[in-house]
Every structure is written in structure tokens, then in C-alpha cells.
Homo-oligomer: A and B are copies of this chain.
Amino acid sequence: MTSPDPQAVHTYLAALQQQICSALEDVDGEARFIEDPAEYPNRGVSWPRILEGGRHIEKAAVNFTHARGDRLPPAATARKPELAGRGFEAVSMSLIVHPRNPYAPTTHANLRFFVAAGGPEQKPIWWFGGGFDLTPYYGFDEDCVHWHQQAHDSVAPFGAQMYARFKDACDAYFFLPHRNEPRGVGGLFFEDFNALGFTRTFEMVQSVGDHFLPAYLPILGRRIETPYGARERDFQLYRRGRYVEFNLVYDRGTKYGLQSGRRIEAVLASMPPMVRWQYDHTPPPDSAEAALMTRYLTPRDWLSGG
């Protein structure tokens, strides 16, 4: 049995961050990511990269962090109080992409690894978490099918039930109770996952990471040149409000970031570049905007014909 290896996870996720940033710059063709690295002696590194105001990508944030410490703070271990006070490492890559074109969906992905020292005569405690999900403003069946096919293929080699389990977890997590709405069309979500042992679980996480660009780039590529006007832009900005509501009210990573005293700009780098709210917005019946709710923001099995 292989020991959990945070440095191997670091190497993979840092390379993935680089690969994703390069690919997004290629898609945009104009804007470049800025870097805003910070190093905390004995506590780790934070490497946010931000692209704003691009031709096709209105905002993207791709963060890498590797935190370590001698003693886990109690706030970090609410669900596992027995870990408080132990040494730990946490490695994470997370991203969000807000395209400019309303026909191109927003996406979010996150992969993270946590390991805490074992107690006396105990092995280390570790797990992976993460996944990727898609939030369209205008729905296209072919995009949803492609997205979920890639999600499926990324985890299928690791267990027959993995996709269904992680898809259901994604639908459950990215949900706004106060709106009774899913945030998007889902994808994969897993937490506290170590069921396959370190080596095989890390292979699965790498497979998920490696499938992100093949899942997102074809969708982005076929939507970013679609002509649109004020109607579509208004709807996109309105729907982005749901993203803000989810991130500030429910998202565990954001809540933890707000409470932890981490760099607030890195924590809130996921916020959309421009957003609007409107009282009681109701799209015309049978419009594409209405179909977003009725056809797309409804959990659905996209791989068996919807």
C-alpha cells in the first residue's frame, strides 16, 4: 500500500493549473492571466491566476494552493474533530470561467487533497475531493451530453457506479434551496473520497483533471462566436446572480475562505465580472430563456437520451 504523497499531488495539480491557463489563453487569443503568488513561511503557498476582460473570456480564475501546518485549527475539522491539533497538508486547484458570450456556459472545477498525520500508531488520514460542473445560460442538449459523457468516461474505469454516484452528489451540492433551483446542469462532485487507496484514488483524480479541458473546450469553442444582443446579455447577467447567491450563501469553500482570513481577493476571485438583479424576472413562455429552467435546470440523465 502506497503512502499518501502530497508532493505528487502538488506536482500534478500545479501542472494542471498551467495547462488549463495556457488553453484558456489560446481560446481567448488576446488576454493573459496575471499571477499573484504568495508564500507563507511554514504555512504554504497560494498561486492565484486571474484573467479579466478578454475577448472571449470575461473572467477566469485558476487558483493553486498548497497549505501546511503543524496543528490543524478546530475550524478546519468541524466534521472530523478528532483531527484537531495534528499536522496537515492541503493541496488544491480550483477554477472558474465566465465567458463573455451568453451562449457559452460558465464552468467550475476543483480538485483537492488533504492529509493529516496519524495519531499514535495510526496511519495518516487522507482524502480527495473535487469534480467539475457546468452552468449554461442557454441550454444545448449536445453540450450537456458531451459534458456528461466526459464526466462519465473520466471515472468509469474506477468503478461502475462512480459516475452515477458523483453526478447525484453534484446535483445535490450545487443547488439553491431558496430558489429551489439547481445551479447548473451538474457534472461530478466527490468529497472525503479515499475508497480506492491512495494510488488508485489519485489516478482517478488525475483522470478527472485530465478530462476537464476535453469536456469544456469543445463547448466553449462552438459557442463563443454565436451572435447575441442585449436580450441574451441581460439574461446572462441576471442568471449570474444565481452564481453569486450560491457562492456567498452556500459554497463551503467560499464560506471557509471568508472565515479563515485567507486572502479575500483569491477567495472571491470566483465572483462574476458583471451581474444584475431584477425583481421577479419571468422569461416569456416557450422562449430559450424559459427552456433553461424547464429543460436544463432539472436533474436529468443526459447519457440515456435526457
Instruction: State the number of copies, please.
Output: 2
Residues of B within 8 A of A36 (CB): 279-280
| Cβ 8 A contact of A269, one of B177, B179, B244, B279 | B279
Nearest to A248 among chain B residues (CB) is: B248
Q: Pick the interface stretch among A20-28, A130-138, A208-216, A270-278.
A: A270-278
What is the CB-to-nearest-CB distance from A183 to chain B, in angstroms, rounded to a whole number? 15
What is the CB-to-nearest-CB distance from A77 to chain B, in angstroms, rounded to a whole number? 21
Interchain CB contact under 8 A, A248 and B258: no
What is the CB-to-nearest-CB distance from A262 to chain B, in angstroms, rounded to a whole number? 9
A contact residues, range: 20 to 34
Cβ of A245 within 8 Å of any chain B Cβ, yes or no, is yes
Provide the A165-199 mask, 1 if CB < 8 A to any CB of B, else 0: 00000000000011100000000000000000000
Provide the A142-181 mask, 1 if CB < 8 A to any CB of B, else 0: 0000000000000000000000000000000000011100
- Most B CB contacts (10 A, CB to CB) among A34, A267, A272, A278 go to A278
| Cβ 8 A contact of A277, one of B249, B272, B279 | B272
Nearest to A181 among chain B residues (CB) is: B264
Give the residues from 228 to 269 in chain A that come closer than 8 angstroms, CB to CB, to chain B. Answer: 237, 241, 244-245, 248-249, 258-259, 264-265, 267-269
State A108–B267 Cα separation when bound (angstroms): 27
Residues of B within 8 A of A265 (CB): 279-280
What is the CB-to-nearest-CB distance from A292 to chain B, in angstroms, rounded to a whole number? 17
State A177–B267 Cα separation when bound (angstroms): 14
Residues of B within 8 A of A59 (CB): 277
Residues of B within 8 A of A241 (CB): 271
| Cβ 8 A contact of A276, one of B34, B269, B275 | B275
Nearest to A254 among chain B residues (CB) is: B249
Sample of 25 A–B contacts (CB below 8 Å): A36-B279, A36-B280, A48-B279, A50-B280, A52-B278, A52-B279, A61-B279, A178-B259, A178-B264, A179-B264, A237-B274, A244-B244, A244-B275, A245-B248, A245-B268, A248-B248, A248-B249, A249-B249, A269-B279, A272-B277, A274-B274, A274-B275, A275-B275, A275-B276, A275-B277
The 10 closest A-B pairs by CB, nearest first: A271-B277, A248-B248, A178-B258, A50-B279, A274-B276, A265-B280, A275-B275, A178-B264, A248-B249, A269-B279
